[in-house]
Structure 1
Amino acid sequence: MAELYSRRSFMVGVLSAGLLSSAAGYLLTRREPVTLTLATGTEPTGGGRNLLINLWNNLNPDIRIVPRLVNSTTQDQYAGFTEGGADIYNLDVIHIPRFAAAGRITPIEPRNALSLLGPVRKVCQVDDDSGRLWAVPFNSDVGMLFRRITDKSLPDSEPELRDVLSRERFVGQLDTTGPLTDEAFVINVLEHALAQDPLILDPEGVLSTSLTQWQGALKPLAEALRSGRVLTRTTEAATIQAFEEENLSYMRNWPVWFPGVDRAERAEPGTAAIRLSRLPIGVLGGQSLAIDSDTPHRGAAEEVIRFLTDTPAQKLLATYGFAPTGRDAYFDEQLKEAEPHLGMVRNAIEEARPRPMKPGYLDFSQRFKEHTYAYLHRGEQLTQRFVRDIQEALK
């Protein structure tokens, strides 16, 4: 175990040095110093993003990035990001359509050879066949199934989520107490519905409007909740705590948490390893960097974004648990040795489905949560009103 994580630390050092070398092409000379404000949420683990920002600032003292941390939920990110203004926004994937529709961001011509994964590119691209992006993907994300291995000598095949629900104790973000946790609940419910019916949400992010289809897709989850086989938590951290303290076999969470969970669990006497599995179909997440339409420093902002999203930066972020956005990072031999789970993550992202990418997504999310929470936790049946509400929100 010590060797595994020593190798990971070594990789961070190697990739940081490599970034310094590759960054020569980004060195800019200006007569007047520029400060670029980057509006972003807090970083969940480690400091990989901050390391990249510090590397840029050390190399470019005349074009400095100053993060403006917005302590907001996914739901109210639009208000939190726009009220204070910024040159660059680090947007959650669901907010890109709203920022674009409001004219808050301007398209970017990607120059980096990023080899973006298909679903990642699709949710960011401008719909005019120009190849431009509304925002350049910074890191990707997708729901994964964590499982505890107690004996490596026993056969170990990837489990199906529907089988886990029927016979094992499992924990996920399947409860909510308000705006801070609503979106995690929505994502988890969508993933369980997709595990039963892959047509409930198609690869373009179009939801089924068949009430019968939704009733069938969510019935197994409702039954598992009522039987006590599923533990419900509101946050990713609370889910990890339950997984560890209850010694559960399975957990749904994001891959960014894998290094920390794996490191902690390998130290426990009853755990041989933690492994990741794909959900049948995961829901796509991630953040992307977009340029404010009114910034007077567009050229500098573009260069900053290209540095932060280029392949060397992707490799560095991967050592902190973030899922790279492009294929090149996944095929790096050193990175594959240090982070062998990344191949599984790439496969999951390539098969992931986006949430409905509409400017009215947040209204949809709220209505979807209200109906499905009442069904799963209070036993209130889904009715045609559920279908009408989600259709109205996504017009």
Structure 2
Amino acid sequence: MSEPAGQWSPRKKIGYIAFVVGMVVVITSASAYMVTAVDRRWTPGSIALTVVSGIMVVVSGICINVLPKTVTTIWRNPERLPAPGDPRWLLRVLTKPFRVLLILATVVVIVAVGIAAIPPATGLEPGPIRVMTAFGEGASDPRTVLFRQWSQSHPDNPVQVEFVQGETDQQYERMVNDAKPGGEHKADLYVLDLVWMPQFAANGYVRELDRASISETDRSDFTPSVLDTCAWDGKLYGLPFNTDAGLIFYRTDVPGVAKPDTWDDYFGASAKAEAAVAKAGPYGVKAANAAQLADEEVLTVTALEAIWAAGGKMVTVNGDLTLNPDGTEVALGAEDLKGIENLALAAKDPDLVLTENDTAAKSAESGALDSFRSKTTLYMRNWPVAADSLGKSVEFAVAAPPTSSVLGGQNLAIASSTDKPRAARALADFLTSPSSQLILSDMGSFAPTRQSTYRFSERTDVNEVRAAVERARPRPITPHYTRFSQVFRTGILRALNNGGKVEESFARDLVEAWNGR
């Protein structure tokens, strides 16, 4: 039966309403999607897309607001629907202020929904990744090899190295000047000495890493004490690039010289006795130990290891300071003072410690390495990488120290100022991967940060390196470490020249430096 003139059947009304609602849904969805597709780099194409998106959002806002009245009209008075192309309905809508406000509010909601629906970016930002580091560039250096591998496999993100030169304190200052507010911000990724991590994290120089972004396999594979050096205040700010711990290098071509069982065996009376016997033979020996006592970070390392060897507890196994009850001074116990005294006695004994220009205080890492290489000493405490520098110049073996050594190493931290955080993180993941750690270990004698690397490494000293790393202890953990180390070694140098006795203000000065005062 045909419909009466001017009347619509319920089925037709429902179909028409469904069509109108569907069109509004399509228009609104399309406009929200176009918001998500806008490219923020503002190319000519993205500008055109932005304009079209804006028009679509406004149209969808109008459609949503007129939809209820349109549906009501279709159901009750379909004959009053505007003719196709009749603009008067739009004019009536736009002349009502309240309706305009509703349209604007709807537009805001649509844009907000579109922005919220934008999926997080997952691709790497294009452009070179600038890595700031203090190690020297060399074609055969395994770190350079890894940079080259990354650049070859990621031509859109080649590594661009920013070298900082000078002594440790100078390197630190230049990196801080780059990272701090108002700095040059040359770096996307920093290769930081682990003792600098607290300051860079506490001051917001580097980005926090989401622990959930590290797989459970990786978290369990990193040596726990090494991964802990990347944390501050319970949050993670980096990944460990390479770790370090002291090794004892000892001559194997001199009778009577063997793997030391105590600190005294390589730095005390026992070592001196061995040196006296060796001097009588054709071995070129001048002293027992190529000690490192220069007024640099190495003196802090040497002094802490002497204190720990004597049983001192001024620096705990967790990198905290042991303080007196009111917290104004470091609690220097008898063992701490004994360790400093032992070091002072060794530093002043030319038969025990080989000096540079007759002054032990001038002996740095390079001098110690040269002395051992030239066969003038029996023992040397140094980092694992020293093995490569020695080569076959002298017959030697290595051993993990009988007591705790200082934990060293470098961490990778993403600069807060970088505009390529995803690319920098991808590079950090690559450099700390199992395969990269194996290259660092076997090509460059770096102590690996992953436990699995020790199982696959072919280096002959791998077991001693692992034992040294597992036994190593952190230096004092504080955002003011550089200042603390300066104050500490200044006090130690004075003690070396005063029979091992520290000045009265030493314990108080350390706490003030620890707290950044």
Number of residue pairs aligned between Structure 1 and Structure 2? 348
Cα pair distance change 1:255/1:44, threshold 3 Å = farther
Aligned equivalent of 2:381 = 252
Letter in 2 for 1:339: R
Cα pair distance change 1:121/1:29, threshold 3 Å = closer
Letter in 2 for 1:33: P
**Match of residue 463, structure 2, among 335, 343, 346:** 343
Distance in structure 2 (CA, Å) of the matches to 1:47 and 1:223: 39
Aligned equivalent of 2:253 = 150
Aligned equivalent of 2:82 = none
Aligned equivalent of 2:432 = 309
Aligned equivalent of 1:57 = 151
- State the Cα distance separating 1:98 from its structure 2 match: 0.6
Aligned equivalent of 1:372 = 492
Distance in structure 1 (CA, Å) of the matches to 2:232 and 2:412: 14
Note the residue ranges of structure 1 that are not aligned, 5 or more in a row. Answer: 1-27, 177-181, 266-270
1:366 is paired with a residue of what secondary structure? helix
- State the Cα distance separating 1:378 from its structure 2 match: 4.8
Asked if structure 2 preserves the Cα contact closer than 8 Å seen for 1:198 and 1:281, the reply is no
- State the Cα distance separating 1:364 from its structure 2 match: 0.9
Cα pair distance change 1:29/1:116, threshold 3 Å = closer
Asked if structure 2 preserves the Cα contact closer than 8 Å seen for 1:278 and 1:345, the reply is no
More strand by share: 1
Distance in structure 2 (CA, Å) of the matches to 1:358 and 1:155: 39
Letter in 1 for 2:487: R
Aligned equivalent of 1:211 = 332
The normalised TM-score by structure 2 is 0.63
Note the residue ranges of structure 2 that are not aligned, 5 or more in a row. Answer: 1-121, 272-287, 323-329, 355-359
Aligned equivalent of 1:220 = 342
Asked if structure 1 preserves the Cα contact closer than 8 Å seen for 2:404 and 2:472, the reply is yes
| More relative contact order, 1 or 2 (CA 8 Å, 6+ apart) | 1
Aligned equivalent of 2:134 = 41
Cα pair distance change 1:151/1:226, threshold 3 Å = closer
Root-mean-square deviation (Å): 2.3
- State the Cα distance separating 1:242 from its structure 2 match: 1.1
Q: Give CA deviations for 1:2-56 in whole Å, capped at 9, x if unaligned.
A: xxxxxxxxxxxxxxxxxxxxxxxxxx976x7311110000249851100000000
Matched, 1:118 2:224: yes
Cα pair distance change 1:274/1:155, threshold 3 Å = closer
Matches within 5 A, 1:104-115: 104-109=205-210, 110-111=213-214, 113-114=217-218, 115=221
Asked if structure 1 preserves the Cα contact closer than 8 Å seen for 2:307 and 2:337, the reply is no
Distance in structure 1 (CA, Å) of the matches to 2:167 and 2:500: 27
- State the Cα distance separating 1:264 from its structure 2 match: 2.3
Distance in structure 2 (CA, Å) of the matches to 1:206 and 1:343: 28
**Match of residue 141, structure 1, among 232, 244, 262:** 244
Identity, % of aligned positions: 29
The normalised TM-score by structure 1 is 0.82
Distance in structure 1 (CA, Å) of the matches to 2:450 and 2:497: 39
Query: More deviation in 203-212 or 94-103?
Result: 203-212
- State the Cα distance separating 1:78 from its structure 2 match: 3.8
Distance in structure 2 (CA, Å) of the matches to 1:243 and 1:62: 46
1:329 is paired with a residue of what secondary structure? helix
Aligned equivalent of 1:103 = 204
Letter in 2 for 1:257: A
Return structure 1 stretches of 4+ with deviation > 6 angstroms: none
1:207 is paired with a residue of what secondary structure? coil
Distance in structure 2 (CA, Å) of the matches to 1:386 and 1:303: 45
Distance in structure 1 (CA, Å) of the matches to 2:137 and 2:400: 21
Aligned equivalent of 1:261 = 390
